[in-house]
């Protein structure tokens, strides 16, 4: 079987570094896209609209894996229009991909579909894993919409009847990466201006994962046939927001960061056209299934993750980021 991977939603923040990593690891990546990218290199691009069956479905025949990362960014205000687009962009693409796989004569043996660690309940005092984690909204976190989206997203995946295809819902935490457009760039920008200290007390937990470990987890899930259903992709060490702020401020060479109340954050979120939930919700998610399967994180501690990312951003590393990942992996054995 060919090592062809069909990737939907591969032009966004996570998809950009994932497609590069997969190509560097020897996979043939076929990108299903509404907006072709310039200088795509060896990555073949196939048009689709994310809603209707088309010629793109033939790419699934005999493929090694299907990965779907499609979905409108949640970094916006949750008005009626944005709520509809956030939900439909996830549910519709998942549904049409399920139909295409069901019609394939030689379907991919595995389908990894994006989901979110936000699906778990807002909590401070217990870790949430796949077996014991509680799913539900809380008034304090104002996360009812996010929970509804996550449930609907995973339900469509679960209802797809595909006896020859293993399905995995990747419940992914905040991905820390050097790319522009991600949460880490926003956090380091706040630190630069002396902001980015504890928010609303800073006791809420932050679940996160380094981009290298995210990509490695994706390949691990593709190649481990015993893993299906929900899988948490997050560092095994979620930490309180105040500790995250301290780590980033230290690495940025800033002696302090301004504290912010919940009201201050909500005002800032309104001004920047986003939602305070993204930082106020306490996500204490752990990757029990990955760890039990033998997966080892290269960046389990935030200090190491932030230091590595900052090294690349500041240009101290002379290598291309993808080559740096491989060099780092060889050093770790």
Please report, for the domain that includes residue 223, its CATH number: 3.40.50.720
Q: Report the distance separating Cα 52 and Cα 197, nearest Å.
A: 46
Q: Report the distance separating Cα 94 and Cα 101, nearest Å.
A: 11
Per-residue pLDDT band for 42 (boundaries 50, 70, 90) equals confident
Answer whether residue 167 shows pLDDT above 80.
Answer: yes
Beta pairing, strands 65-68 & 110-116: parallel
Residue 243: its pLDDT value, please?
95
Share of the chain above pLDDT 70, in %: 90
What's the mean per-residue pLDDT of the chain?
89
Looking at per-residue pLDDT, the higher value among 2 and 175 belongs to 175
pLDDT tens digits for range 63-101: 999 999 999 988 788 889 999 999 999 999 999 999 999
With beta carbons less than 8 A apart as the criterion, state whether 284 and 238 touch: yes
Structure tokens at 36: 């072709």
Domain total for the chain? 1
Q: Which residues pair with 100 in a beta bridge?
A: none
With beta carbons less than 8 A apart as the criterion, state whether 176 and 305 touch: yes
HSE value, Cβ hemisphere, 13 Å, CA-based, for 281: 26
Per-residue pLDDT band for 314 (boundaries 50, 70, 90) equals confident
3-class SS letters over the chain: CCCEEEEECCCCHHHHHHHHHHHHCCCEEEEEECCCCCCCCCCEEEECCCCCCCHHHHHHCCCCEEEECCCCCCCCCCCHHHHHHHHHHHHHHHHHHHHHHHHCCCCCCEEEEEEEHHHECCCCCCCECCCCCCECCCCCCCCHHHHHHHHHHHHHHHHCCCCCCEEEEEEECEEECCCCCCHHHHHHHHHHCCCCCCECCCCCEECEEEHHHHHHHHHHHHHCCCCCEEEEECCCCCEEHHHHHHHHHHHCCCCCCCCECHHHHHHHHHHCCCCCHHHHCCCCECCHHHHHCCCCCCCCCHHHHHHHHHHHHCCCCCCCHHHHHHHHHHHHC
Give the domain range for residue 231. Answer: 4-332
With beta carbons less than 8 A apart as the criterion, state whether 233 and 116 touch: no
Per-residue pLDDT band for 319 (boundaries 50, 70, 90) equals very low
With beta carbons less than 8 A apart as the criterion, state whether 240 and 206 touch: yes
| Dihedral (Cα; 128, 132, 133, 135), 10-degree rounding | -170
pLDDT tens digits for range 137-163: 998 888 999 999 999 999 999 999 999
């Amino acid at each position: 079987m060919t090592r062809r991977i069909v990737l939907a939603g591969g032009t966004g923040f996570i998809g950009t570094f994932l497609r590069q990593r997969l190509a560097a690891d020897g996979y043939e990546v076929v990108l299903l896209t509404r907006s072709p990218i310039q200088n795509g290199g060896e990555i073949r691009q196939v048009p689709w609209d994310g809603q209707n069956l088309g010629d793109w479905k033939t790419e699934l025949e005999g493929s090694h894996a299907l990965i779907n990362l499609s979905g409108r960014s949640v970094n916006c205000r949750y008005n009626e229009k944005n709520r509809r687009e956030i939900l439909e962009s996830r549910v519709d693409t998942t549904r049409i991909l399920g139909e295409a796989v069901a019609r394939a004569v030689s379907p991919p043996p595995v389908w990894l579909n994006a989901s979110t660690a936000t699906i778990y309940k807002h909590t401070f005092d217990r870790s949430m894993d796949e077996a014991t984690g509680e799913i539900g909204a809380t008034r304090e976190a104002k996360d009812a919409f996010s929970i509804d989206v996550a449930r609907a997203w995973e339900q469509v995946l679960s209802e797809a009847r595909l006896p020859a295809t293993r399905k995995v819902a990747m419940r992914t935490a905040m991905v820390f990466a050097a790319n522009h457009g991600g949460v880490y760039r926003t956090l380091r920008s706040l630190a630069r201006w002396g902001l980015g200290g504890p928010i609303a007390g800073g006791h809420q937990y932050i679940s996160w994962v380094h981009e290298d470990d995210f990509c490695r987890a994706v390949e691990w899930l593709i190649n481990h046939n015993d893993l299906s259903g929900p899988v948490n992709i997050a560092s095994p060490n979620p930490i309180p927001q105040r500790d995250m702020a301290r780590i980033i401020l230290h690495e940025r060479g800033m002696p302090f960061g301004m504290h912010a109340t919940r009201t201050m954050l909500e005002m800032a979120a309104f001004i920047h056209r986003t939602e305070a939930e993204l930082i106020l919700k306490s996500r204490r998610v752990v990757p029990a299934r990955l760890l039990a399967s033998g997966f080892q994180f290269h960046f389990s501690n935030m200090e190491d993750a932030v230091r590595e990312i900052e090294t690349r951003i500041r240009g101290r590393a002379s290598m291309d980021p993808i080559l740096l990942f491989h060099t780092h992996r060889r050093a770790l054995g």
